[in-house]
Amino acid sequence: MAYERMLFADAVCFLGAAVAVNGFKPLLQYGEGGTPFAPSYDDIERQLHIEAYLRRCIRLGTLPVRRWPLYGIEPAPLAPVDGGVTTLEDPGLMVSIADFREWIKRSQVQAPESWADALSDSIQWDDQPIPGTQIVTGEPKVGRPRKLGDNAQAEANKIALELYNSNGKMPTQKAISTKLGTKYGAAWSTAKDRFRVKLCKEYIKTLKQ
Mean of pLDDT over the chain:
84
- Identify the band that residue 143 occupies on the pLDDT scale cut at 50, 70 and 90: low
Residue 157 has pLDDT above 70, yes or no: yes
SS3 assignment, position 124? strand
Percent of the chain scoring above 90 in pLDDT: 36
Residue 176 has pLDDT above 80, yes or no: yes
Residue 185 has pLDDT above 80, yes or no: no
Q: Average the pLDDT over 36-60 and give the result.
A: 84
Report how far residue 55's alpha carbon sits from residue 88's, in angstroms, rounded to the nearest whole number: 8
The string of pLDDT tens digits covering residues 72-118 is 999 888 766 554 554 566 778 899 999 999 999 999 999 999 999 99
Report how far residue 133's alpha carbon sits from residue 129's, in angstroms, rounded to the nearest whole number: 6
Would you call the peptide bond into 77 cis, given omega within 30 degrees of 0 as the criterion?
yes
pTM over 0.85: no
Structure confidence at residue 40 (pLDDT): 73
Structure confidence at residue 31 (pLDDT): 46
Report how far residue 39's alpha carbon sits from residue 22's, in angstroms, rounded to the nearest whole number: 8
- Identify the band that residue 158 occupies on the pLDDT scale cut at 50, 70 and 90: confident
